[in-house]
Structure 1
Amino acid sequence: MDGNHSAGKCPVMHGGQTSNKNSVTSWWPNALNLDILHQHDTKTQPFGATYNYREELKKLDVEALKQDLRDLMKNSQEWWPADWGSYVGMFARVAWHAAGSYRLADGRGGAGTGNQRFAPLNSWPDNVNTDKGRRLLWPIKKKYGNKVSWADLMILSGTIAYEVAGLKTFGFAFGREDIWHPEKDIYWGAEREWLAPSDNRYEDVTKPDTMENPLAAVQMGLIYVNPEGVNGKPDPMATAAQVRETFARMAMNDEETAALTAGGHTIGKSHGNGSAANLSADPEAADVEYQGIGWLNTKGRSIGRDQVVSGIEGAWTKNPTQWDMGYFDMLFGYEWELTKSPAGAWQYKPVDIKEEDMPVDVEDPSIRCMPMMTDADMAMKVDPIYNAICHKFMADPEYFSETFARAWFKLTHRDMGPKARYIGPDVPAEDLIWQDPIPAGATGYDVAGLKTAIAASGLSLTDMVNTAWDSARTYRGSDMRGGANGARIRLAPQKDWAGNEPERLARVLSVLEPLAAQFGASVADTIVLAGNVGIEQAAKAAGHDIDVPFAPGRGDATDEQTDADSFDALEPIHDGFRNWQKRDYVVSAEEMLLDRAQLMGLTAHEMTVLLGGMRAMGTNHGGTKHGVFTDREGALTTDFFVNLTDMANTWHPVGDGIYEIRDRKTGAVKWTASRVDLVFGSNSILRAYAEIYAQDDGQDAFLKAFVDAWTKVMNADRFDLA
């Protein structure tokens, strides 16, 4: 034995790669973590650089796939038997819970990436047994391979489930590309315990609108609300208020919310016929012999009538595999009283129910079982607004079916972005306002002539660059909303956002809009082209002649094509690139910069080069001078990086997040800076990038990298260029 190793000690390092116990961040928990900027590194994608999912989809036999899913709905498997011989409830839930994590505030969550396959979502308490649904889908995924993503397959399975149940669905679009690594940097809440009381998410738990942004679910590990009531205490009126706020944060109105609740509970059942204490670990925590399957009943069969999922037990309707009006018949046809499930969960049972109205047992049709309602269901009855909507549905079953079908389509497609990204034979022809429709833009106009006219317009470099940036920076790759296409910066609510400097914006638009009309270009194209003109002028001032790439074809949206309330969520409350934030926040300015950069799809080095270049050009909000480390303001130089890294300087806080940079010898103040500026010198990773451009040979690399990153931002929402 090697004398350098004590007996029994494993010579291989372990733990550091597989847990956070020995991670760098555990040693320095307050260090800026840049991991979110590399969340889906190309190294995790297994297909190579030439793989194109949209091209693979062209090879897919869509009708054969749909038929295989229809067959699956009725082919009960011995290892995981179907309730009543049908999987429609199972796959409606798989799709629902994949899509239901979407939140409007930052566009994160949702079904667009297949993230339900990974932690934390694969092991959320509210996602119990969705792992079984994915395993039931595996033979179909195996058959069609890379021609269909897990993300598309899971949502299609839920849509087909409703079709098999008897609903005429609104449509379906392919186009969701899988990720291959957990989205571990998404903020799902500060709790360190599953299903911890929701009080910490609210300033006042009795006022649902005080829930912490960007969260939507009321507790850690839930998709929506607690079905037993607020913090597990039954109170349908209080639950109704939480339902309304949570669904609004998912971009749903009251009618859509009521339709989704009723339609979601028209098929399937809840499972709580046993003790949750007997379940094995969740998939992520289960040992290797479980092979990624979790929540198995260690003291029972764990299948059929013996499943424990939510802890609530029973079906909502008499015919839980059929699309009908049974939910309303049950909810409004009976009075309900509070009771507990065999698992000890609060639920409601009907008073004096007729035996013929009871659903049959999932395994033995000779046995009738008691139906149930949750606190969220009772909310539909006691809340006057939801009650009125439900009675409207009851009076017109076709209207209910259509409303649900549209709401289901919205739920399962909301995070896909504009319809330009939709693929497949079942894409609805109708343009929906939540898809942020944009008319096609012209491409045949005189681009060179328009550039010349913009340059001669009298607009300053900062006028042009800032307007283009403000228009484009709204893009977020989380749900593919925002961006320069559509020129919505000239419409409500964007034209009045503080971050867009409304007075300056109105003045710039008064110059650019007539030029757009003169040349037959869209305002959206003209804004971006003006930004490019400004970049080219700044480069020339630094001694370089460059051409910034430009692709015409953006369109101009109208007020009628813009859901102003929905766009409120895109308002920037901070922009580190322009050294601005609306007010002081608990989160540091540099962390907010990372969040914005990640939503825009930027890497750490793209973020670095853009910020440094914009400081050199003097594009700060309101014209402030923080971070403008140059005596050549307006020139696209590397001065920000050169002077930031110069050890002839010292750095001193002076209050309110502002710092002075002083000459080391004389003590004279040379510049001022914000935390966002100085983090590029203090953070070891960002400093490494900054030093590249501070080098004597860094100017050419800087210009190329800046133009590439700028063009990426300007074209981020140009899905027609993909």
Structure 2
Amino acid sequence: MSRTGDYDAVRRDIVAQLKKPDYDDGSAGPVFVRLAWHSAGTYDAESDTGGSNGAGMRYEAEGGDPANAGLQHGRAFLEPVKEKHPWITYSDLWTLAGAVAIEEMGGPKVQWKPGRTDLVDDSKVPPRGRLPDGAQGADHLRFIFYRMGFNDQEIVALAGGHNLGRCHIDRSGFQGPWVNNPTRFSNQFFKLLLRLEWSPKTLPSGIKQFVYVDPDAEEGDEQLMMLPTDIALVTDPKFRVWVEKYAEDKDLFFDHFAKVFAKLVELGIRRNEQGAIVNTDNVKGGYVSAPKKSNTATGPPKKQAAEVRARL
């Protein structure tokens, strides 16, 4: 067991969990990023509820949200880290794992601060429905992200997280990767959005997405895909400006992404002059860490794709 507060040791053990030959594209990195993002993306600025402080996904009320389908694997992959460092809160562990994964997969260094407290029960878990629905358009994106306190530029920068990972028919209802190398952070997502021709496709589930029909593809080759919300980034003029900037300037995108991801995982957190978090759960001050959970991925049973509303 490490010394309390030794976050460098935690970082090293997160890195050790990234390589997963039998999972998706061989890396847990993308699911760690999605776990951090979804743990924080429940924040509502008006009511000052939700956010990464609390790790509410430990409870069925939040973890069972269809928008979080599949994240039980990311949480389980991090349990060996929790076992070695029982002092760390899940809310710190999940957000740190996202920041570490981004950097290890070739992305920018994201500023990360510790101190989050785990909820002691589910009474403060935010209601479902606060995460983006990938089947929607520009108005929906603005509704969701403005609620969190983001602007148009930040919305597009965060969307660049789709450089990582893939969609699963049994989770979101969508199917396939966005980019050719889904375990390497880059600005390829924006380049492909602009340069390829995206055709609508209805999956057997009835869910609609967009795909690139490669004329040189061989039978069995996997198609690249985009969500309706992704296509909205190029059809909406204000969003498109930033798509074009990020497609042309990788350094600009990396800089903006690092800043907005750091802002994302800090939503709803209040710190004093020393950097300590002051809004803890049922405890004034202190660092409340929840007990370790199972190393086995547990979550709601898989739903048929036709029953899943896609929220990514």
Task: Return the TM-score normalized by structure 2.
Answer: 0.84
User: What is residue 317 of structure 1 aligned with on the other side?
Assistant: 179
Does residue 1:224 correspond to 2:131, yes or no? Answer: yes
Alignment of 1:663-674 (within 5 A): none
Does residue 1:59 correspond to 2:16, yes or no? Answer: no
User: What is residue 305 of structure 2 aligned with on the other side?
Assistant: none
Q: 2:113 aligns with which of 168, 173, 180?
A: 173
| Aligned residue type for 2:183 | T
| Aligned residue type for 1:326 | Q
Alignment of 1:74-473 (within 5 A): 74-76=19-21, 81-146=22-87, 148-183=88-123, 186=126, 188=127, 221-229=128-136, 239-261=137-159, 263-272=160-169, 308-352=170-214, 354-355=216-217, 368-418=221-271, 420=273, 422=275
**Shift of residue 477 of structure 1?**
4.4
Contact 1:101 1:109 in 2 (8 A): yes
Describe the shift of the 1:142–1:324 C-alpha distance in structure 2 as closer, same or farther (beyond 3 A). Answer: same
**Shift of residue 346 of structure 1?**
1.1
**Shift of residue 478 of structure 1?**
8.1
Contact 1:126 1:223 in 2 (8 A): no
**Shift of residue 180 of structure 1?**
2.3
**Shift of residue 123 of structure 1?**
0.3
Contact 1:313 1:342 in 2 (8 A): no
Contact 1:60 1:144 in 2 (8 A): no
Name the SS of the counterpart of 1:241 in structure 2.
Answer: helix
Describe the shift of the 1:354–1:255 C-alpha distance in structure 2 as closer, same or farther (beyond 3 A). Answer: farther
**Distance in 2 separating the partners of 1:158 and 1:407:** 13
Name the SS of the counterpart of 1:173 in structure 2.
Answer: coil
Q: Which structure ranks higher in relative contact order (CA pairs < 8 Å, sequence separation ≥ 6)?
A: 2
**Distance in 1 separating the partners of 2:63 and 2:244:** 37
**Shift of residue 119 of structure 1?**
2.5
**Distance in 1 separating the partners of 2:215 and 2:258:** 30
Q: Could you list the per-position Cα deviations for residues 102-129 of structure 1 after superposition, in whole angstroms to 9, with x for gaps in the alignment?
A: 1111110011111110131010010112
**Shift of residue 349 of structure 1?**
0.9
Name the SS of the counterpart of 1:85 in structure 2.
Answer: coil
**Distance in 2 separating the partners of 1:334 and 1:60:** 47
Contact 2:112 2:262 in 1 (8 A): yes
Q: Could you list the per-position Cα deviations for residues 482-504 of structure 1 after superposition, in whole angstroms to 9, with x for gaps in the alignment?
A: xxxxxxxxxxxxxxxxxxxxxxx
Describe the shift of the 1:370–1:223 C-alpha distance in structure 2 as closer, same or farther (beyond 3 A). Answer: farther
Q: Which runs of 4+ in 1 moved over 6 A?
A: none
The structure with the largest helix share of the pair is 1
| Aligned residue type for 1:183 | S
**Distance in 1 separating the partners of 2:275 and 2:157:** 24
CA RMSD of aligned residues (A): 2.8
User: What is residue 302 of structure 2 aligned with on the other side?
Assistant: none
| Aligned residue type for 2:181 | N
| Aligned residue type for 1:174 | P
**Shift of residue 341 of structure 1?**
2.7
Describe the shift of the 1:132–1:170 C-alpha distance in structure 2 as closer, same or farther (beyond 3 A). Answer: closer
**Distance in 1 separating the partners of 2:41 and 2:2:** 25
**Shift of residue 367 of structure 1?**
5.8
Describe the shift of the 1:349–1:98 C-alpha distance in structure 2 as closer, same or farther (beyond 3 A). Answer: same
Q: Could you list the per-position Cα deviations for residues 435-478 of structure 1 after superposition, in whole angstroms to 9, with x for gaps in the alignment?
A: 9xxxxxxxxxxxxxxxxxxxxxxxxxxxxxxxxxxxxxxxx948
Q: Could you list the per-position Cα deviations for residues 566-612 of structure 1 after superposition, in whole angstroms to 9, with x for gaps in the alignment?
A: xxxxxxxxxxxxxxxxxxxxxxxxxxxxxxxxxxx89xxxxxxxxxx
**Shift of residue 419 of structure 1?**
5.9
Describe the shift of the 1:353–1:320 C-alpha distance in structure 2 as closer, same or farther (beyond 3 A). Answer: farther
Name the SS of the counterpart of 1:145 in structure 2.
Answer: coil
* Unpaired stretches in structure 1, ≥5 consecutive residues: 1-55, 189-220, 230-238, 273-307, 357-365, 424-434, 436-475, 480-600, 603-715
**Distance in 1 separating the partners of 2:173 and 2:224:** 14
Contact 1:108 1:478 in 2 (8 A): no
**Distance in 2 separating the partners of 1:89 and 1:392:** 24
Q: Percent identity?
A: 29
User: What is residue 301 of structure 1 aligned with on the other side?
Assistant: none
**Distance in 1 separating the partners of 2:272 and 2:253:** 25
* Unpaired stretches in structure 2, ≥5 consecutive residues: 287-312
State the number of aligned residues: 286
Name the SS of the counterpart of 1:414 in structure 2.
Answer: coil
Describe the shift of the 1:342–1:264 C-alpha distance in structure 2 as closer, same or farther (beyond 3 A). Answer: farther
**Distance in 2 separating the partners of 1:184 and 1:149:** 17
**Shift of residue 61 of structure 1?**
2.7
Name the SS of the counterpart of 2:94 in structure 1.
Answer: helix
Name the SS of the counterpart of 1:228 in structure 2.
Answer: coil
Describe the shift of the 1:350–1:129 C-alpha distance in structure 2 as closer, same or farther (beyond 3 A). Answer: same
Q: Could you list the per-position Cα deviations for residues 493-548 of structure 1 after superposition, in whole angstroms to 9, with x for gaps in the alignment?
A: xxxxxxxxxxxxxxxxxxxxxxxxxxxxxxxxxxxxxxxxxxxxxxxxxxxxxxxx
Contact 1:269 1:313 in 2 (8 A): yes
Describe the shift of the 1:243–1:82 C-alpha distance in structure 2 as closer, same or farther (beyond 3 A). Answer: same
Describe the shift of the 1:129–1:327 C-alpha distance in structure 2 as closer, same or farther (beyond 3 A). Answer: same
User: What is residue 650 of structure 1 aligned with on the other side?
Assistant: none
Describe the shift of the 1:58–1:104 C-alpha distance in structure 2 as closer, same or farther (beyond 3 A). Answer: farther
**Shift of residue 409 of structure 1?**
0.3
Task: Return the TM-score normalized by structure 1.
Answer: 0.37
**Distance in 2 separating the partners of 1:381 and 1:478:** 40
**Shift of residue 420 of structure 1?**
3.6
Q: Could you list the per-position Cα deviations for residues 50-101 of structure 1 after superposition, in whole angstroms to 9, with x for gaps in the alignment?
A: xxxxxx997233222111111111144xxxx321211111111111110110
Name the SS of the counterpart of 1:338 in structure 2.
Answer: strand
Describe the shift of the 1:342–1:159 C-alpha distance in structure 2 as closer, same or farther (beyond 3 A). Answer: farther
**Shift of residue 184 of structure 1?**
5.6
**Distance in 2 separating the partners of 1:88 and 1:353:** 31
Alignment of 1:412-561 (within 5 A): 412-418=265-271, 420=273, 422=275, 477=279
Does residue 1:70 correspond to 2:10, yes or no? Answer: no
User: What is residue 452 of structure 1 aligned with on the other side?
Assistant: none
| Aligned residue type for 2:9 | A
**Shift of residue 165 of structure 1?**
1.0
